[in-house]
Structure 1
Amino acid sequence: MTDSLQQRIETALSQIHHPRLGTDVVRADVVRDVATTTDGKVRLTLVLAAEDDATLVRDVRHAVEGVDGVTNVRVDVMDPAQYDAARGDKRAANLAAAGRSAPARALPVMDAAPSRPATPAAPQPVNYPELGKIIAVSSGKGGVGKSTVAVNLALALAQRGARVGIMDADVYGPNLPRMLGVDEPPPVRDQKIQPLEAHGLKIMSIGFMIERDQPAIWRGPIVMKVITQFLRDVAWGQLDYLIVDMPPGTGDAQLSLVQATNVHGGVIVTTPQQVAVGDALRGVKMFERVGVPVLGIVENMSYLENPETGKPIAVFGSGGGQRLADEVGVPLLGQVPIDPRIVEGGDTGRPIVAAEPNASASRALIAVAERVAARVAERYGAERAAR
């Protein structure tokens, strides 16, 4: 059984082309120390040079995740020098100098005695008590209004009297500058980055530091550095909540955040249709695997209110958020209706909770904030009294 799983993993990896080396990743010998357990857990090291395409990490992970019998995948990324130093592998260095690659290696079983020392452990999360409760707002796919929910959740918590910061971890598509109406380089004082402020929130985004049309073509280690710097080197002051707007999906930014600090809860945003719910389910499972409690599900774009009767019109179907919440055993935090003023507010830097607090969508988002605060209080104790 174990041999069969090893063979399937090697076959899947042999389909991944390494652009720089012109062959598959198995023959290129960049996948090292692949280890499996009898219950389908897989751990491997991917050796990437600085000039290699970082999408190889994603491709390797997805290929192994798709192998029948695999239940969990961990990919440790190291550059050649790090790998050789950690392993004391002089043979690999000599082969590289000679322009040759090592032959493909057998895949060991974790339960058997390893032929090499174990890969160094992942970095331990750092606790930042001054940041209060760190809440990650995530989604399985783009276009479901995740950033809209994150911004208005932060505003609604601030309206309750809490001290709130919001951090843009969507380094590939930062939207907070436009949505909150602030966009200038943050000042630096006493070697600390000063967050910008708007609507009573402290805000940090990579969008403040790069040109609007500049793509962030960054590999995982750089994403980790950006997120760590935003946590450690920004003068947030004392917060009650730090809301983190994550990029869609389950990639490097999500992993970097949970490795960098202790995340107190995740909020998953979806829309009612089944394709979005299926992607959101993967977001829930990602949080579960890395030990982050899921506070609940927000169903965005739930319905359109008939302007004449006020009755809901299910434009994108109905019930998807509730079905997901029931499936994973967490509460449905709220259903946010479609409202053109949400789009207008996001484009003009006037989020709907601040601009139209009595709108149906605002009331739904404020209710979401109240339920998030209640869920956090259940797990960690009551929030600081409102000032």
Structure 2
Amino acid sequence: MITEEKVLEALKGVEDPELHRSVVELGMVRNIKIDGNRVELDVILTIQGCPLKVKIQEDVENAIKALGGEEVVVHFGSMTDEERARVAAMIRGDNAGPSASAPNGGTVQGHGAGLQQVSPLLRPDSKTQFIAVTSGKGGVGKSTVTVNLAVSLARMGKRVGVIDADIYGFSVPDMMGITQRPVVIDNMVMPVQRFGVKVISMGFFVEDNSPIIWRGPMLGKMLRNFFSEIHWGELDYMILDLPPGTGDVALDVHQMIPQSKEIIVTTPHPTAAFVAARAGAMAIRTNHEILGVVENMSYYINKDGEKDPIFGSGGGQKLAKELQSELLVQIPLGQPEPMRDEERYGPSVYQESETIGKIYMDLAKKVDQKASVTA
């Protein structure tokens, strides 16, 4: 026999896809009516016109039908401002700190989020490990390394966030197959979660792939907003995908997060390694620890199963020696296997069972070990 208590218990396993909390915990389930095997209820969404309403409806219907319900009728409504404030307070928790106005009136563009005076991630007692992924030049696969390192750490059970700090060349959302934008609840911006990784990117705040035409101070302000105006929650790792080279954003990161560690990405060509050395030198001069070097596009496995170093060889090893660091991994040329399952597919994300996916998992284990030792 279906009861209201059984329905609520079943719906505890249904999450809001954007907030990643149970719809029961969030107080979204109301007015349950049961007539034999027919169940009718209201689901009160946090925002009107929620883009993932269809998924919530499917999950609710499936959970109730698993109890034996033959007909499930779901009515949708939206929360009041007071109810959204209560949900925001629940998500923030008691240790999120007070909100304050942004300096010079700054906000995350188009969202009007309130700025906390000090991001919990940047407080002295923060346990979050910051890892900046950088390179000397573009086109070496820095963002691919960022995305797959973050996903691999999440597969290890780590709580991981990614800031796509390559503000001019943002690509992380597209690489991870992210189509939705951050949700704002009571002036609190929630990062988008994909593959267990929380993501924020400039790509969420521009329309139609428009170019970003900003000067240095505006870039630095936006980067600070990515820390202060986003509710990240507790994280083990924050991975930053930096722009290539040693420009304004890289300098801001070095000054803003002195405890950050760095991974330098290069290709095996000696010239690419020579350019990447500049990014490494900047890390050393600003007292950032270099965790190691990742050599991307190291070789191509030809039809005979042989490793063909089509872009040269030795660059990663040379760079690691010059920086007195370690060559962490050598990643071959390849492309993720096509996936029909949208939940598991990202255009640049390798599955754990793939050869390159296993290499990225080795990288994640090395990074976790090295970061833990030096914490």
- State the TM-score bracket (shorter-chain normalisation): 0.5 to 0.7
**Distance in 1, Cα, partners of 2:369 & 2:332:** 22
2:334 matched residue in structure 1:
339
Report the alpha carbon displacement of residue 377 of structure 1 after superposing the two structures with TM. Answer: 1.2
Consecutive unaligned residues of structure 2, counting only runs of 5 or more, are 1-120
1:203 equivalent among 186, 199, 206:
199
**Distance in 1, Cα, partners of 2:277 & 2:338:** 26
Q: Within 5 Å, which residues of 2 pair with 1:93-172?
A: 126-127=122-123, 129-130=125-126, 132-172=128-168
1:82 matched residue in structure 2:
none
Report the alpha carbon displacement of residue 211 of structure 1 after superposing the two structures with TM. Answer: 1.5
Q: Within 5 Å, which residues of 2 pair with 1:1-387?
A: 126-127=122-123, 129-130=125-126, 132-308=128-304, 310-341=305-336, 349-353=346-350, 356-380=351-375
**Distance in 2, Cα, partners of 1:166 & 1:332:** 23
**Distance in 1, Cα, partners of 2:177 & 2:314:** 34
Q: 1:159 to 1:253 in 2, by over 3 A?
A: same
User: TM-score when scaled to structure 2?
Assistant: 0.64
Q: Is the 8 A contact 2:336 2:347 kept in 1?
A: no
State the Cα deviation string for residues 141-168 of structure 1 (Å, max 9, x = none).
0000000000000011111110001110
Q: Is the 8 A contact 1:166 1:203 kept in 2?
A: yes
State the Cα deviation string for residues 25-70 of structure 1 (Å, max 9, x = none).
xxxxxxxxxxxxxxxxxxxxxxxxxxxxxxxxxxxxxxxxxxxxxx
- Of all paired residues, the percent bearing the same amino acid is 41
Q: 1:137 to 1:344 in 2, by over 3 A?
A: farther
1:106 matched residue in structure 2:
none
**Quick one: which amino acid aligns to residue 211 of structure 1?**
E
**Distance in 2, Cα, partners of 1:146 & 1:274:** 17
Q: Is the 8 A contact 1:303 1:313 kept in 2?
A: yes
**Distance in 2, Cα, partners of 1:371 & 1:149:** 14
Structural RMSD (CA)? 2.1
State the Cα deviation string for residues 181-215 of structure 1 (Å, max 9, x = none).
11333122232211001111100001001023311
**Quick one: which amino acid aligns to residue 171 of structure 2?**
N
SS where residue 368 of structure 1 aligns?
A: helix
SS where residue 361 of structure 1 aligns?
A: helix
**Distance in 1, Cα, partners of 2:217 & 2:329:** 35
State the Cα deviation string for residues 239-271 of structure 1 (Å, max 9, x = none).
000000011111011111122233420000000
Q: Is the 8 A contact 1:183 1:207 kept in 2?
A: no
SS where residue 226 of structure 2 aligns?
A: helix
Q: 1:344 to 1:374 in 2, by over 3 A?
A: same
Consecutive unaligned residues of structure 1, counting only runs of 5 or more, are 1-124, 381-387
**Distance in 2, Cα, partners of 1:315 & 1:240:** 37
Instruction: Identify the range of structure 1 (336-345 vs 183-192) with the bigger mean alpha-carbon deviation.
Output: 336-345
Q: Is the 8 A contact 2:293 2:326 kept in 1?
A: yes
**Distance in 2, Cα, partners of 1:342 & 1:171:** 28
**Distance in 2, Cα, partners of 1:233 & 1:258:** 20
State the Cα deviation string for residues 351-380 of structure 1 (Å, max 9, x = none).
433xx3222211211111111111101101
Q: 1:170 to 1:249 in 2, by over 3 A?
A: same
Q: Is the 8 A contact 1:127 1:262 kept in 2?
A: no
Q: Is the 8 A contact 1:135 1:263 kept in 2?
A: no
Instruction: Identify the range of structure 1 (260-269 vs 141-150) with the bigger mean alpha-carbon deviation.
Output: 260-269
Q: Is the 8 A contact 2:175 2:349 kept in 1?
A: no
SS where residue 316 of structure 1 aligns?
A: coil
SS where residue 340 of structure 1 aligns?
A: coil
User: TM-score when scaled to structure 1?
Assistant: 0.62
Q: Is the 8 A contact 2:164 2:240 kept in 1?
A: yes
